[in-house]
Structure 1
Amino acid sequence: MAAYRPGVLIGNWKEDASLEEDRLRDFMHKRERGELLIQKINKLQDNLFKKIRLSVSKDGFVHYGDTVMLLNPESKPSVENCPGLCGRLTLAINLDELSVHSAESLQAPHGVSAVESADPVGRNTFCILSVNGGTVGEPIRFGQNFRLGTTGGFSDQMLYLASDHKSFIRFAKKSYLQQVFLTAELSYLTCWQATFLDPQLRLEYEGYPVPANSKMIITHCHTNRSLAVPRNFWTWSYFGKEYEVICHTYLDSHKAEEDKNYWVIVTGNPSDEDGTMIDRPTPQPGGIRKNEFSEET
């Protein structure tokens, strides 16, 4: 009689072997169709980090149909104003662990955040859209409604930047102020306006084209509150530390908006396909650019 060895089949070995074969076949089938979780995550990340070419403004203004970035410029180096970060931030799609693992595309409603990266990718680029049927290529004007739609690297999907009044169940998680989010529904909640930076000149500039790459205030039409990055409220997302974006008007002692409410609509650099106008060197007197200086001069 043969002695017992570990290789001897005991128990429900036939059923276990069949189950293992079924799991393997199911794995192979899902891999062929791209339905594995790791494949979905990789596809989502590839779309969100896909390089996007920003629209180039030939006349210096922002137009309907332009692909742009929304940049909150560098804040004053003050502990009171920016205890978290004083560098520039861009508006971006926020992803938590749950949203990344749940689907291979963006689901509404979705969060937004401010990130330190200023490179134009699918995650932090937006398209300027008309509300009242404005023509693509026509400049938007101060006091005129427009929408901001995500590019996200998805050609068949678009979400819209929106906000609504704060309530007991709807508020920003960190500051408890008015929430900003992305939605798939078109409504008055997705309407925004560009406001001239200087309060004393706003009436004079009403109706004028909005200049690109210049500081301005972006106001939510429904609540009349301004888009802002407080910079002292941050959270950990799937991609790391990011800053909360809200709708709240911060006023100084002169009743003018603070730098938390400043925004720049960034367009592409005509001399560099992958560059932006904020990275374009500033010309110096005599036609010399900053990056042309050497130690000898």
Structure 2
Amino acid sequence: MTYTRTYHHKVRLGNWNEDLHLEEDSLKEFLQKKARGELTVQKIDFLKQNILRQVNLSASKDGGLHIGDVVMLVNTGGPSRERSAISINADINNLSKAHNPLIQAPCGLTAGRSVQPCTRTAFIITSVDGGPEGSTLHFEQSFALKTTSGFAGGLYLTSDHRTFQKCAKVSRLQEVSLDEDSSFISWWKIVHFDPQERLEYEGLPVPANAKVLIMHCKTNQALAVLNDQKLWTTYGNEYEVTAHTFLDSHRAEQDNNHWMVSTCDPAGEGLLLLDRPQTSDKAEELPLTEPSM
């Protein structure tokens, strides 16, 4: 027969002394963790306070993208999907145990419906071919996307061929994540969203805040956000992000693969240029300069 305690330890029946000491030890441990900031609720507050801190995006004076620009990757949305931005999906398990905790790899990614620039949504366009800081980014030019330094850890947006052990959690498609690896698996390139004009734009400067495709150099799969594959995160219900090219009946990429590499308002008001009208004339979008060799 199982023993069931029917009295409080203050009645001093059974193992009342041991129960009293256990409660005192539990309270002491709780207070020590609270003093060190190790309680789960304190860690979550610390994470959100730092990862949602506002970040100033780069302002493009010539309308184009450049090496070193701080940008957001915003999906244009679709009939059954809201506009969303690539976001760091970090939880308290991704925090390092250093005196000043940072986000450590590997770390997941999602597409959040909040498109405000913050540590969670800001990425730096980084050269992989020795291009100088501030040089113009061109269509089909390889580059890397890195989180900001400091709390975000300076991690790279990476992907690789899917395997049984490494794939997206819900859709099981090719996984996209953040890692310290700056090798070929972290190389991306931008191509024009219209397949019929893609060759004409090759080598031209990439305009900021314009609809484009972001292709993974190693696997040749396009960065994508999924309609019906959602993940519950610390920040709410968000879309899953993968590297997969979705084609329609005309062999053109669907809106799952359409992105805007967003900068801030050159006027200095901090507004994202997410609704800039598209122009069909290449000469009016950017000054035509020869691609850097």
Contact 2:156/2:179 (<8 A) preserved: yes
Aligned to 1:118: 115
SS at match of 2:274: helix
Kindly provide the amino acid, as one letter, of the partner of residue 197 in structure 1. F
Shift, 1:125, TM fit: 1.3
Q: Deviations over 1:48-81 (max 9, x none)?
A: 1101111100110111111111011032x3xxxx
CA contact 2:65–2:208 (8 Å) conserved in 1: yes
Unaligned runs of 5+ in 1: 1-5, 283-297
Deviation for aligned residue 1:210: 0.8
* Cα distance in 2 between the residues matched to 1:14 and 1:133: 70
- Asked whether the equivalents of residues 209 and 273 of structure 2 are also in contact (C-alpha less than 8 Å), the reply is yes
Change (3 A) 1:8 1:190: same
For 2:271 and 2:240, the matched residues in 1 are separated by 26
The one-letter code sitting in structure 2 at the alignment partner of 1:99 is N
- The percent identity for this pair of structures is 47
Check the 8 A contact 2:126/2:144 in 1, yes or no.
yes
Q: Does residue 54 of structure 1 match 2:51?
A: no
What residue identity is the alignment partner of 2:63?
A: G
1:37-76 aligned at under 5 Å gives the runs 37-75=40-78
> Does 2:186 correspond to 1:183?
no
Mapping 1:261-272, distance limit 5 Å? 261-272=257-268
Q: CA deviation at 1:191?
A: 0.5
Provide the rounded CA distance (Å) in 2 between the counterparts of 1:17 and 1:247. 56
Distance 1:153 1:116 in 2: 24
Q: Deviations over 1:174-198 (max 9, x none)?
A: 2221111111122111000001122
Distance 2:12 2:169 in 1: 57
Instruction: Determine the structure 2 residue equivalent to 1:173.
Output: 169
Q: Which residue of 2 aligns with 1:159?
A: 155
Other structure's SS at 1:174 match: coil
- Residue from 134, 146, 150 that aligns with 1:149: 146
Deviation, 1:111, is: 1.0
* Shift, 1:171, TM fit: 1.5
Alpha-carbon spacing, 1:259–1:152, altered in 2? closer, same or farther (3 Å): farther
Deviation, structure 1 residue 275: 2.1
| 2:85 and 2:115 in contact (8 A); partners too | yes
Aligned counterparts of 1:196 and 1:279: Cα–Cα separation in 2 = 18
Could you say which residue in structure 2 is the equivalent of 1:208? 204
2:84 corresponds to: 89
TM-superposed CA distance for 1:242, in Å, is 0.7
- How much has 1:204 moved relative to structure 2? 2.3
Name 1:99's counterpart in structure 2: 93
Q: Relative to 1, partners in 2 of residues 1:12 and 1:148: Cα closer, same or farther, differing over 3 Å?
A: same
Shift of 1:233: 1.1
Q: Which residue of 2 aligns with 1:236?
A: 232
Distance between the aligned counterparts of 1:246 and 1:109, measured in 2?
15
Could you tell me which residue of structure 2 aligns to residue 196 of structure 1?
192
Deviates more, 1:271-280 or 1:203-212: 271-280
TM-score after normalising by structure 2: 0.80
CA distance in 1, matches of 2:135, 2:149: 24
Asked whether the equivalents of residues 124 and 152 of structure 1 are also in contact (C-alpha less than 8 Å), the reply is: no
Task: Write the deviation string for residues 143-182 of structure 1: whole angstroms up to 9, x where unpaired.
Answer: 1111111138616x21111111111111212222111111
**Which ranges of structure 2 fall in alignment gaps of 5 or more residues?**
1-8, 279-293
Farther off after superposition, 61-70 or 104-113? 104-113
Separation in structure 1 between the aligned mates of residue 198 and residue 276 of structure 2, nearest angstrom: 28
Question: Among 253, 259, 278, which residue is 1:257 paired with?
Answer: 253
- The answer to whether the 8 Å contact 1:53/1:273 transfers is no
Number of aligned residue pairs: give it: 267
> Does the 8 Å CA contact 1:47/1:152 hold for their aligned counterparts?
no
Aligned-partner SS, 1:230: strand
TM-score by length of 1: 0.79
CA contact (8 A) 1:64 1:129 kept: yes
Deviations 1:230-262 (A, max 9, x none): 212112112211111111111222222111111
Give the letter aligned to residue 72 of structure 1: N
Q: CA 1:19–1:233 in structure 2 vs 1: closer, same or farther (change >3 Å)?
A: closer
Residue 108 of structure 1 corresponds to 105
Question: Which sits farther off after the overlay, 268-277 or 44-53?
Answer: 268-277
CA contact (8 A) 1:195 1:217 kept: yes
CA distance in 1, matches of 2:253, 2:276: 27
